[in-house]
Structure 1
Amino acid sequence: MTTWITTCDTCKNEGWSEGDMAQTDGESLATLIEAAATGLSGVKTRRVSCLMGCKNSCNVAIQGHGKLCYTLGEFAPTPEAASAIVAYALAHSTSETGQVPYREWPQEIKGHFVTRHPPLPDDA
């Protein structure tokens, strides 16, 4: 089943305005995530303008139909962070419930979880 990585493309980490400001930190992270997920079965990416987690930027949501959903934040837009987010999403996609055992979490995402949401109930 497909797991979606939704990346906030408007996120700006503290100090962003002192840089070149060519793109937001969220845009940079989204580009890296998209590249890391290219060609993977079970993982898709999309961008959204504002996940409303500004205190925790850069933010991503990991979602799959009928599965637990997670919001993660406080990432730097680095290839290591993007690879870890994609690796976690891949594990989420193969999990029946969306829960991934802690021992399988990539080190680079530990400490970045902000929220966990139960799946929406199926309409009868």
Structure 2
Amino acid sequence: MSDLPGYMRFCLNTGKLLSLAILVSGGIVLQILACVLYNNWWPMLSVLTYVLLPMPLLFFAGSNDSIFSESDNSWVNFTKFLTGASTVGGIAIPSILKHAGVIGWGAFAMELSSYFVFGLTVICYLWMGDEDEYSIL
């Protein structure tokens, strides 16, 4: 991509950011629709996991260690554990609410769809992070 003119790279990068913004907006809309359409606000409980998910990465993962590599550092391993627990919670909370009869099948499907849209957004962001312009991680 380095052989493209500057204006072309700018347009492509803007398009990538725009697609990420659309994916995040779609996930938020699905999350809110799961509550509004069925007049039940219990599905918003899973938003807690979306807020807590990046916290271990922000607090415990050092900038020198990669989260995807094998490490003997106990803080990095603890970070991986907390991130995994938060990720499982994103699926577990709607499943428990459905099993308890608090939400219906439609709200459950929208909750899981919202979770997978957010997951797709994170995967796309990490894919974009491999390029030089977005090397935040």
Q: Given the two structures, how large is their TM-score scaled by the length of structure 2?
A: 0.25
TM-score of the superposition, structure 1-length normalised? 0.27
Larger Rg: 1 or 2? 2
Higher normalized strand content (fraction of residues): 1
**Comparing both structures, which one devotes a greater share of its residues to helix?**
2
